[in-house]
Structure 1
Amino acid sequence: MSRLTGLRWVAVDVCGAAVLVIASAEDRNETDLWGPYATVMVASLLLARHRPLLALVLSVAGTALLHLPESTGVDPLDLAVPVALFALAAAERPRRVGAIACGLLLAGIGVASLARPVVRADVLQPPDTHAVAIRVEKPTGRVVVETVEPAWPDRLWESSGLMLALAAAYLLGDNLRGRRLHLRTLERRAADLEREQRQRVALATAAERARITRELHDVVAHGLSVMVVQAQGAAAALKRHPDRTEHALRDIVTTGRSSLAEMRRLLAIVSQEPELAPQPGVQALPELIDRIRAAGTTVTFTVEGEPAPLPAGVDLSAYRIAQEALTNTLKHAGPGAGAAVRLGFHAESLEIEVSDDGRPPAGPADMTGNGLRGIAERVRLLDGELETGAGDGGGFRVLARLPLRPVST
């Protein structure tokens, strides 16, 4: 496509040069210089698009070749000079090149107009200038015709049309160059914005994947931990307390169905077909604690302060933090361990504390696992504070403070 477009422009240049040659040939003077002049001017027209500086030099040289030896009128091929100047001003080169060339041309025309020589003739013939002086030499009686050159302001005025044409050609070319540069700047800026948008989408996608992964871990880990504990209790009570076994199996079914429903909701988000269901919050904590109790773990639940509506992010994070902390209790506290959940409402923050009286940690809290790492990430995203480690009475303790004010950026 670009090659075809280039051939079209070449055809346009050739046709334009041919039209000017025909128009110039019709009005040309009887001079031997017209052939070389036309050749140079046609070459400059054909080179103007790709070699504007060379084209301008050739066109100026051809014009000087024809017009300096004798005073002649403007030739149609002289249009090659403003065409080449226009192409030079519009070219992608330093702007000063076109400005210097235009200045030199205007100065050269002015100097040529002021330095035009006086022409003498010994015969009476129509002169090319505006005024003549006729005198008779007394000794010989010979009639002498002299051309009278106008004053220098008149000479400059005669050249003003040509100078204005060249100045207009330069200004038009420079304006075209400026528009091209502006358009290129806009295109580059649009490309940068598009690239930045793609990066934002990629970051948002990665963050959403991390969030969904964290949600899946919380749901699956908690549900499976509860089901494992309940299954162990059911197996232990199968012979001695069949009624308890039936109750434990029923709880296993309920927990499994709830976990599957939550997984389907999260997977629907990934497949872009979300099921519109409310997210769990602190109001769902009693139900969560009941499931843990049904698994055989003693859990106490305390609410301090006056409950108040919470921001959606804080509400969901509080639930997930308590859920993950209780899951860790089921997995690591050992048999017979109890847990305590405290929810503290304050004016500027919400406290979630989950502690157990099971086996104390052997060392510092391991933040490499998905559980505590997910809790830490939730707290960090909300600009909150997190404390983990051994409790005052043994066991393990998780304390998270979530601010209720907007997160600082």
Structure 2
Amino acid sequence: MSDAPVVDDGPTPATPAGARGFLARHRGRVDRVVDALVVVAFTGWALLLGLGADSMFWLHEVVDPQRVLVMQLASFVLTLAGAVALLWRRRRPVAVAAAMAGLGVASLGLTGATNGFELGLALALYAVAVTGRTRAVWATAVGGVLALLVAAWAFPLPLTVAAKMLGVDRADADAFARVTGTGPTGFLTSPSWYVTAGPVLVLTLVAVAAGALVHARRQRVAALAEAARARAEEQAQRTRLAQASERAQIAREMHDVVAHSISVMVALGGGASAAFDFAPDRARAALDELVDTGRAALGDMRRILGVLHDDDTDDRAPGTGQGTGQGPGQGTGQGTGQGTGAPLEPQPGSLDMTRLVDRARTAGLPVRTSGLAVTGLEGLDPAVQLAVYRIVQESLTNTLRHAPGTTDVHVDVRRRADAVEVVVTDAGGSAATTPSPGGQRGVVGMSERAAVFGGTVEAGPYGEGWRVRALLPWHEGDA
């Protein structure tokens, strides 16, 4: 038999809160306290039986008083050895169990009783059972129990001590013979046999059963923890795929924004060249406008590179080709499209918020608008316009999917001094309708779009309904 790894009697940390969380945070200290209590319990019980046997059972009536002192000294020394062995119960449970069986055999030979080593053997066998090594558990248990029972049968002193514990001494020959039995077979059925066999067998079975239950519980907790970790990893992977898909679409749309700006630059450059001779002031103004447009296009290009920059390869999904399609439409919610070359709408310059809201109303949403959602997004940077449009579009799509039958939807787009604020709220779905389950891709997409500009998106319950609030940092000079 080989020894098992370190054995652990403390509770497995399954939750970060409550009593289990406290024990998990102070695991080493709790283990030391448990070990100390085990050693104290064994030592107290062994010393009580070993040193107090004479006063409890008057052993000096059947054993020479001088020998009683030797028995007490032997019991004291063996108890100290057992206490030291139990300190290694976690690290060497099989070796400690074997040591306890050996010390128990020595105690039977020198003192006529196990004197607490039946408890010491049970504590060691519990540690072996906790490791889950079935063969080692039963081999150690059977070997230890057989060693103690054979010693109780083979040594003469255990017969005398057991008989005296039952209230019979050698002076009453007939009663002594009945208690101790005659011959090997008679002793196996005598009451004195069970003085040793009973405690040893009962404590051994209880210890092995308790250790096996603790091991099974820890296996179950470990399986649950692994399943939770797998679910969390799966969710994280889905989130990464959604982020990669959304970033790819954002990059494609911003590419269209940059292409639009470059087209304007080409037109401005051609106009300035044509007017250079006969209208230099107009040519200079066109060139200034060209510089401003180029600067804005450069900023948009930096944002594209920021979206696609691969700082963490685990946060990207190579080869993904999905992208969210159109928002609320005629009776349909959100769609998906494959491929990277599919045309994306709306294109820069055609961001019609009124048309988007009308389509949502046609789909059944009672939409109210305020702010730029009414007056239009003109004057904002094209990339900001596109982000605002998509956030509103996704919010209305989510409302259509998750709050069917809502009585009110409010879309508010405000231009601040340093940011653009988008707020979309709904009054909650009707109790008679069942919302469709979502995968959080819409929130992920809106967050990614806001993050391009260093902004944030807050989405969560608001009264009886839901609110999406996006804040996109932007200054007048960015236009």
Larger Rg: 1
